[in-house]
Every structure is written in C-alpha cells, then in structure tokens.
Amino acid sequence: MGPRGLTVLERVLEHADRLPAGARLLIEVFDEGECGEGVHRSKQPDHLLINTVASQVTMFAPCSVAGGAHGISFVQWAQAAGYRRVGERFLRNTGDGAGTDKPGAPITEADHLPRSLLGEYLAWFYQHVIDKLPATVRVVHRRTRVVDLVEREAQTRAALNASTNAGFDLVLENGDVAHADYVFLTTGHGYRKPTDDDRAFSTFAERHAGHNPNLAYFASPYPVEKLAAISSASTVAVQGFGLTAHDVISSLTLGRGGRYIEEDETLCYLPSGDEPNILLFSRNCLPFAARGINQKGLTGRHRARFFTPEAVAARRRAVLATSGDPRIDFQADVLPLVIREMAYAYRCARRGEEIAVNGFEPTSEEVRAVEAILWPLKGQRFESFAAFHEFFDELFKADLQEAFRGNLTSPVKAATDVLRDTREALRTAVENGGLTPASHRYFVEEFNAITNRISFGPPKQRNLEYLALRDAGLIDIAAGPGARVVADDAHARFRVQTSYGERVEHSYTDVLVTARLDPYSPLSDASTLSANLLARGLIRPYFNGDYHPGGIEIDSGLHPVGATGAVRRNLWAIGFLVEGPHFYTHALPRPQIASRQTLDAQRCVLELIAAIAAQQTALNAPGHDTREAAILPLPVVHQGHTPAASVTSVVA
C-alpha cells in the first residue's frame, strides 16, 4: 500500500457508488509498514529530500470524491500540519508545546521537503480515503508479506458457477493462507538478486577484512541507516552521480552531524569530524544537472508544438505505410522531434518571449547547444584525469548558474524541462513495443539515462552542498569516463581506474557503494513472491522482440500475461512492475492534472466493479446459493523494498 496501492484505493472510493446494491467489499492490505508510505518511510532521516518541489506533488485527482475540486497538495498539507523551516530542517510547530518552540520560516511552494514528510503525507492521505469510504467498503491492514499466489482449483470455479472466477490463495510469510477473488499487484521498487560483481566484491571484502578492517561493499545503500557502519577513517567510493548518490552523500555528512552555513553568500560546510572521505564515479562520470528554479507555477508546463503524441502517431503511420511494421526507430523518427522541441524552448527563453511556430527550424547554433546539453562528452578527448577534472568542474558550475536563472529564463533549463513536460509523447513512442527492439535498447540504456541526468536531477541545493563539501576537503570525483572498479588483493582495497590513451590513472578506496535503484525484472528480482509468480506461470518477462527492457508483460487492461500467453481477468499489475511495456511508472501525480497513475488505476477499478456486478448477478441467480467472495490488491513495497500485498473482498 504505497503510492500505487493508494491510487487504486482512491479510485475505489471514487467509484464505490457503482457497486451493485447489496454488495459489500472487504479490502485486505498486506504491508509490513505503515499504509501509504511505501518507500517514503516517515521514520527515515529527514536530511533525505524529494527532488520535486512539494507544490507539484499530490495524491488527489482533480474533481474527486476524495478532494473535491483540487484536493490538498503536499506543500499545502505540510503548511496546514504546522511544519516550518528552522535552519536546515523542517519542524512541526503545533502551538501546544508538543512541537518546536522556534517560529522558523514558512514553507514555500519552491521548497524540496524531506521524504519523511512525504511519508507522513501519504499515510495521512490513506487515512483520509479510509474515513471517506462508505459503510459498504471495509479495509483491513495485515502487517505481513505475501510470498506466493496460487490459483484455486478449477473444480472450485465449476462448483460456484462458470461465470465466476476461481480466485486465489495467498500464502503469507508465516505459512498462513488468505483467500481472494481479485488481485492487484502494486509492489513498487525491489532489490536485485546478487550479480557476479556483487558476489565477487562481497567475497573480496570478507576475505581481506583482517588486512583492512574498513573494507566493505554495499550492493545498495538502502536503508541508509546501514551506512552508519562505515568508519570515518575510510575512503568511500560512490558509484553513481544521481539521486541515490546524493542520499549516500547526505547520510555520510549531514547524517553524521555536519551542517551547512552561509558565509559571504557562499555555502560552507562545518564538519562534525565523523565524516569519511568520499569519491564519486560512474560510467560517464558526468554530474546530474541541478533542477532550475521553478518559474512555471503550480501546474505550468512547456506546451509542446513539435514533439507531441500526435506527431509521434503520424510518424508511426508513415513508417507502417512504407515498411508494413508500426514500430519506429527512436533515433531516426523520434529524436529529431525531441531536438526540434528543445531548440524551440531554447530560443523562446533566449528571446524572452514565445515565438511563432509556423516555419520554425532550429539554427545550427541551436542544434549544437541542444546536443551539448544531451551529449557533453561528444567530441571531447582527455589526456589525463586532471584535464577531465577541469572539464567536469566547468560543466558543473555552468549548470548551477543556469539553474539559478530558472526554467523559463535559462535557455538551457527551458530546453531540459521539455523532456520532463513531454512525457506523454515519449510514452506514445516507447510503450507496448512501439520502438524497434534495437532502438528500444538505445532508449532505455542510453537516452533515458540522459533524460534522468539533465531533467530529473537533484534540487540545486544538493549541488551547492557538493561544492561546500569539496571546499572542506571531504569529496571529489575519483575518475573519468569509462571508469571501472578492480578488487586489488595486493592493497586490500578497491581501485577505481580510468584509461587515458595508454596511461591508466587510479584512486584507492576502502568502501564501495553502488548508488543506483534496480530496475524491476522477474528474472533478477530478489523477492520470493516474484520468483513464485514466475515459477507458477502467472507472469512472464516482457520482451520487445529479443530485448527485455524490464518489467512483466501485460495486456491493454493491465492484466499480467502468463507463461502460456493466457491472462487472468481477476489479476492486475500497476506501477514499477510494468516498467518495460509502460514508461515512467514511478512518478507521483501533479496537482490539477489527470495523471497517468490515476487513469491506469481507474481502468482497473472500473473493470473490477463490473466483474463484481457480474459475479453478484450469477450468485443471485435462481437456484444458486449465496456465498462469500473476495477481492485483492497485492504486494506493495515500503522503504527497505520489502514486498507486501493488498486484498479486496466482496461479500455478496
């Protein structure tokens, strides 16, 4: 019952009046944590921030039963709950002596709030929905995990009626069994099974522990509390520059008692003395771009002129007409539209006004500017690590300057925001095998990583903090493009190295932290539930031709496709599980916008209610016994990524 499970529950509330007369619905939620929070635990350290301004996050669909016309956004909830900014922290002033006695400053729409507060908001929203449900719908929360899902015997189906489904048995972690007629899989993020590198690095750290007591390997930094085991005498290599890397950096600095202060309009870091030295590297060793100051208001976004769902669909029709295959090539058919749209936003920001669309064509200078944003390493050669280090610093500082100019004033940030605001066009191009397999691989493994780096980066505060930490001598980059890690037996340390021509330069570290979120695949996910669903043939990996981008295969109704190609009409999958056939499933809804998350959940809930009505009609048919039935939304992962589940039951 994380954000995706919440969206299903909210849609049940929205359409509860469609339940047939006399039907009663029991929803059982299986989640070890607090309902609603998912990975956003309210008890996690408050130095971990969300990377979206709080005013652009909500769980309320527009014009809904739950929230009326607009609902309450994350920032509105935080303000109403009494939270205020006190120095670097956000504390609650309740006015009754129970909260902080410091007045602090009001939270603004531009603030990036802690993820712990987001967890509180999500838990509050869950209770808000529960309180609004009619008496015919009841919710029970069971703090356990589902580890297996077993279809009931076909004889059960025949005994009830041919028009009713046989339902499922849910095997719980303690061996108990629950029963359900309908299941929603909303498991969220998970952990990968150990890879060859994971096993090799873990074995290396264990083997040399006697020679280097600080030696350690972390295949994932979550939950971040486990990073407390890292000694302050260590040098820590963090593999990644993205949002997860910033969580690691924050945990090893702010999480250890350090703090930031402003001196002469510059951010300075005051160390606690308990921080290790930190070195960063990644495949390309490029910094994640800082988010530009939001100048678009609560719901404002770039209005696409060229890269639109309609333009992508038109390109698909043209390809189909000439080749007989509707699949398009991202680089040939989509990327030119993306570059043109980015160039348009770039010129508008540069001129400070909206320009005419008719006849617009990017100049060669604008194309070069956009390509420099997307591929800053293009045409670059570095003779040494020092040369790359200088390039990195210039890129980092130039990007930060653009972030302070804002996402309408800065041509760079206006262009990068295009990728965030044209997500529906990307979905039109990518989803459901819309790209050729080779092109799909390029999109997932190359271009999507670029999009994340330039458009979905950290708050600019994090990049300012990086500079302050570097000035304090606590952080730096470890390598350049093409860096690789070697377990060095002779030194009992990890070696991060990069080749510059025929010369290799390296840095030694005691601790290696892999700072990335794992994509979901039933082939690599570590959860028992995933393994059992796959073994029973209830799900199968999604493939576009010979390419597996991740996720499980689903049909147009979000029903998982089983091993034989059959679908179960009483089983749905929503969210990160289907990141592969779908695209960008993990985003939270934005205020006053009908989000993809809400629309997906609504499609499933309406089908569920129709199935309940059909089942009740069959059960109430003359000569048929009235009997109990059940409905279920299933696993949701909270912080720590432990799978859980939700079950819904109908009592006829």
pLDDT tens, position by position, 119-139:
999 999 999 999 999 999 999
Q: Which residues are CB-contacts of 584 (< 8 A; sequence separation ≥ 6)?
A: 423, 426, 427, 596
Tell me the pTM.
0.89
Confidence of residue 89 (pLDDT cuts 50, 70, 90): confident
pLDDT at 45: 93
- C-beta neighbour count of 221 within 10 angstroms: 21
Given this model, what pLDDT does residue 545 score?
96
Residue 125's CB: how many other CB atoms inside 10 A? 25
Average pLDDT over residues 186-190: 90
Mean pLDDT of 194-220: 96
Specify whether the CB–CB gap between 591 and 73 falls below 8 A. yes
Residues spanned by CATH 3.50.50.60 within the chain? 196-288+459-514
Alpha-carbon span 622 to 152, nearest angstrom = 25
- Tell me the mean pLDDT in the region 148-165: 62
Dihedral of CA 568/571/572/577: which sign? negative
- Report the relative pairing of strands 83-86 and 146-151 from DSSP bridges: unpaired
Q: Is 651 left (phi over 0), alpha (psi -120 to 50) or beta?
A: beta
Check residue 61 and give its pLDDT: 94
Tell me which H or E stretch contains 647.
strand 645-651
Residue 294's pLDDT is: 86
Could you confirm whether domain 196-288+459-514 is CATH 2.160.20.60?
no
Q: 502: which 2 tokens? A: 């025929």
